[in-house]
Amino acid sequence: MLKKDKPSRKLLLGHEGREKMRQAGQFNAQLMDFIRSHVKPGITTGEIDTLVHEFTHQHGHRPATLGYLGYPKSCCTSINDVICHGIPDDTQLVEGDIVNVDITSVVDGWHGDQSETFIIGKASEEAIAVTQAAFDCLHLAIAALEPGCTVSIIGDTIVAEAHRRGFSVVREYVGHGLGQSFHQPPNVPHFPDRKSRQQRILPGMCFTVEPMINTGTRFTRLDKNDGWTVRTRDGGLSAQFEHSILMTEDGPEILTRTQAGPQPGHSFGNS
């Protein structure tokens, strides 16, 4: 049997670090609830970005994505076949779209990170189904976690559920450790691989789970013009949900749980 990797001690947060991460996650969730009522037909993704930027700064915090490795905006907005890293612009949301809004806040030097896929008006059965699958995969993976488990539990759970529903799981983009750095160990793939079977999740570790689920092929295509936007290679739909997680001695704690957003067991559909 392969020896399990032991995480660096600096990744295992004590009481003070855990409280800082809770505060960052709570603000980020508050931000998500603030923009929720605005994500509807007619708004542009650029207007969503402005709302994120202004709300964050009004509360004395900073959007983590703005300027990160040259990224030009304060959030990511990924519509329909865009898997992740969509750059907000003058594109209007229209009836039937699905759009993932990904926000990360820096609060007193600590990061809160989450995303949701929103269904705009009445959408196709396929759009609703892939959104439901991404949401359920996220919460099934979180529910499978326990102190000392391997990272691969996440990927095992997500792949099994997505494939059961006839969807695919993106492999090129993964979850990650989170703390005073935006991205840090461990990598959290949403499929099981050799490395994730060696790494254990111990109390005090913070990380994201953020499955990206496609209706067709799992393969991706990076926009060469902007260097950020990632699309499905076949033009199929993609949906994603993300939470920041703290592993405690008693199990996983969701740091970015919203008050007004969908909770585990939620059923999506046309209203």
- What is the tens place of the pLDDT at every residue in 42-55? 999 999 999 999 99
- What is the tens place of the pLDDT at every residue in 213-238? 999 999 999 999 999 999 999 999 99
As a dihedral over the C-alpha atoms of residue 212, residue 43, residue 39, residue 45, rounded to 10 degrees, the angle is 30
Residue 203 per-residue DSSP state? T
Average pLDDT of 106-124? 98
Residue 146 per-residue DSSP state? -
For residue 251, pLDDT beyond 80: yes
Range of weakest confidence among 10-14, 41-45, 146-150, 168-172: 10-14
Identify how many contiguous H helices and E strands the chain contains and give both numbers: 5, 15
- Mean pLDDT computed over every residue of the chain: 95
Evaluated on CA atoms 137, 139, 140, 145, the torsion sign reads positive
Average pLDDT of 115-128? 98
Average pLDDT of 28-44? 98
- 97 Cβ contact partners less than 8 Å away, ≥ 6 residues apart: 79, 80, 120, 121, 123
* Fold classified for 10-254: Creatine Amidinohydrolase (3.90.230)
Partners of residue 64 on adjacent β-strands: none
For residue 201, what pLDDT is reported?
Answer: 97
Q: What is the residue whose two structure tokens read 């295992």?
A: 12
Identity (one letter) of the amino acid at 143?
A
For residue 11, what pLDDT is reported?
Answer: 85
Nearest to 44 by CA among 32, 55, 56, 52: 52
For residue 2, pLDDT beyond 60: no
Secondary structure (DSSP) of 116-135: EEEE-SS--HHHHHHHHHHH
Average pLDDT of 100-104? 98
Which helix (H) or strand (E) element contains residue 77? strand 76-79
For residue 5, pLDDT beyond 60: no
pTM of the model as a whole = 0.95
For residue 3, pLDDT beyond 50: no
For residue 249, pLDDT beyond 50: yes
Characterise 70 by phi-psi region: left (phi > 0), alpha (psi -120 to 50), beta (else).
left
Could you give the CA distance from residue 131 to residue 16 in angstroms, rounded to a whole number? 36
Average pLDDT of 144-167? 98
Identity (one letter) of the amino acid at 220?
T
Average pLDDT of 83-104? 98
- Crossing angle for the helix pair 15-36 and 45-58, to the nearest 10 degrees: 140
Contact 73, 88 (CB under 8 A): yes
Cis amide bond preceding 186, omega within 30: yes
For residue 71, pLDDT beyond 90: yes
Confidence of residue 150 (pLDDT cuts 50, 70, 90): very high
Average pLDDT of 61-71? 98
pLDDT exceeding 90 applies to what percent of the chain?
Answer: 95
Cβ-in-10-Å burial (0-12, 13-18, 19+) of 148 comes to: exposed
Domain boundaries, the chain: 10-254
